[in-house]
């Protein structure tokens, strides 16, 4: 690269940092919950990129919380252990043997991989699940589905303690039952419940799509809650986007300031959303 081109790149970088100042100030002290899944968890390179962004967020005064899934890893381990699954209306039944594998994979392999990635980038991350400190107490969602839970009581004090010590919580979506059971919780639902309990400024749902698409097929950059309901009723929002927008609406009803559905495959997606005028994905607010 020519020296002139290098100088031009450094000037552009400095300009970008300068333009980000109002947004850096805006989010100082803010709580941002990030649901991590899909592409960002696939490769070591993508994981390192995500971890670097999270560490930068903490460095400039944001309090990030990472909530992760791990469905493909759970499926792979069940296959490896030759544990057969039953399905009810297309949903896996989480029996006693399955929930042991779910906890082993989510709280073990997946959680610690994310923690190590953040620590490797100079951050200070701690891994936990919704069972720790009774963060997420659950009720059984449906007896036919076994140990699948719905958050019914949230106790986020442990997260505030971690914020006070400049620590980034990385949370596996498992909950404790009132009688000592372990419940598997949908990752998006867990992230939404945690964000609501914290009254988070932002909930970022990282997906493998660019955002919520309107009738024209283009991504809608800003939506109100009623628009989400109307688009769902008309069939424009369909398939896998429905549970994500439902999570967004529930989180907003619970006190989250705004929810963003964005493409986790895009480089620096979280930073683009928080610290640039353009943002990324679809931002959903209350009416």
Q: Sketch the domain layout of the chain as residue ranges.
A: 27-285
Is 37 labelled as part of a ligand binding site? no
Q: Is residue 119 a known part of a binding site? A: no
Half-sphere exposure of 8 (CA within 13 A, CB side): 5
pLDDT band, very low/low/confident/very high, at 217 (cuts 50, 70, 90):
confident
- Please enumerate in sequence order all residues whose Cβ is within 8 A of that of 150, keeping only pairs 6 or more positions apart, or say none: 138, 139, 140, 141, 185, 189
pLDDT bracket for residue 203 (50, 70, 90): very high
Dist. CA 125–CA 54, nearest whole Å: 10
Contact 125, 132 (CB under 8 A): no
Q: Which of 274, 264, 270, 271 is closest to 41 using CA atoms?
A: 264
Which of the two residues, 143 and 8, has the higher pLDDT score? 143
Q: At 240, is the pLDDT very low, low, confident or very high (cuts 50, 70, 90)? A: confident
The pLDDT value recorded for residue 38 is: 61
The answer on pLDDT for 1 being more than 70 is no
DSSP label at residue 94: B
pLDDT over threshold 90, residue 23: no
pLDDT at 155: 97
The span from the CA of 15 to the CA of 26, in Å, is 18
Residue 6 clears pLDDT 60, i.e. is over it: no
Average pLDDT over residues 185-198: 97
Does 146 appear as a known binding residue?
no
Say whether pLDDT at 3 is over 60.
no
> Which H or E run contains 18?
helix 3-26
Whole-number pLDDT of residue 255: 96
- Phi/psi for 222 (5° steps) reads -140, 135
Closest Cα partner for 267 from 37, 49, 14?
Answer: 49
Nearest Cα neighbor of 252 from 210, 203, 205 is 203
* Residue 195, pLDDT score: 98
Query: What tokens were used for 8?
Result: 């031009």
Mean pLDDT of the chain: 91
Q: For position 287, what pLDDT does the model report?
A: 84
Instruction: Dump the DSSP string for 222-269.
Output: EEEHHHHHHHHHTTSS-TTHHHHHHHHHHHHHTT-SEEEEEETTSTTH
What CATH number matches the domain at 27-285, 3.30.465.10, 3.40.50.620, 3.30.450.20, 3.40.1160.10? 3.40.1160.10
pLDDT at 174 over 60: yes
């Amino acid at each position: 690269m020519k020296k002139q081109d290098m100088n031009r790149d450094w000037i552009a970088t400095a300009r970008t940092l300068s333009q980000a100042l109002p947004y850096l100030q805006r989010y100082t002290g803010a709580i941002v919950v990030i649901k991590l899944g899909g592409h960002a968890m696939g490769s070591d390179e993508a994981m390192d990129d995500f971890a670097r962004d999270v560490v930068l967020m903490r460095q400039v005064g944001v309090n990030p919380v990472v909530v992760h899934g791990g469905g493909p890893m759970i499926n792979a381990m069940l296959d490896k252990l030759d544990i057969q699954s039953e399905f009810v209306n297309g949903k896996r039944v989480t029996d006693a043997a399955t929930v042991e594998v779910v906890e082993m994979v989510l709280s073990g392999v997946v959680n610690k991989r994310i923690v190590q990635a953040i620590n490797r980038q100079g951050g200070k991350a701690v891994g936990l699940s919704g069972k720790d400190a009774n963060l997420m107490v659950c009720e059984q969602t449906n007896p036919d589905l076994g140990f699948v839970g719905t958050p019914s009581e949230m106790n986020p004090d442990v997260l505030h303690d971690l914020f006070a010590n400049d620590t980034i919580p990385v949370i596996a979506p498992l909950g404790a039952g009132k009688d000592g059971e372990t419940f598997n919780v949908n990752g998006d639902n867990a992230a939404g419940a945690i964000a609501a309990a914290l009254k988070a400024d932002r909930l970022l749902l990282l997906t493998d799509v660019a955002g919520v698409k309107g009738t024209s097929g283009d991504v809608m950059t800003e939506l109100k809650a009623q628009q989400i309901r109307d688009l769902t009723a008309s069939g424009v929002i369909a398939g896998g986007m429905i549970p994500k927008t439902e999570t967004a609406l529930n989180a907003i009803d619970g006190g989250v300031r705004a929810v963003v559905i964005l493409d986790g495959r895009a480089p620096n997606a979280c930073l683009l959303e928080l610290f640039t005028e353009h943002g990324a994905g679809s931002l959903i607010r209350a009416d």
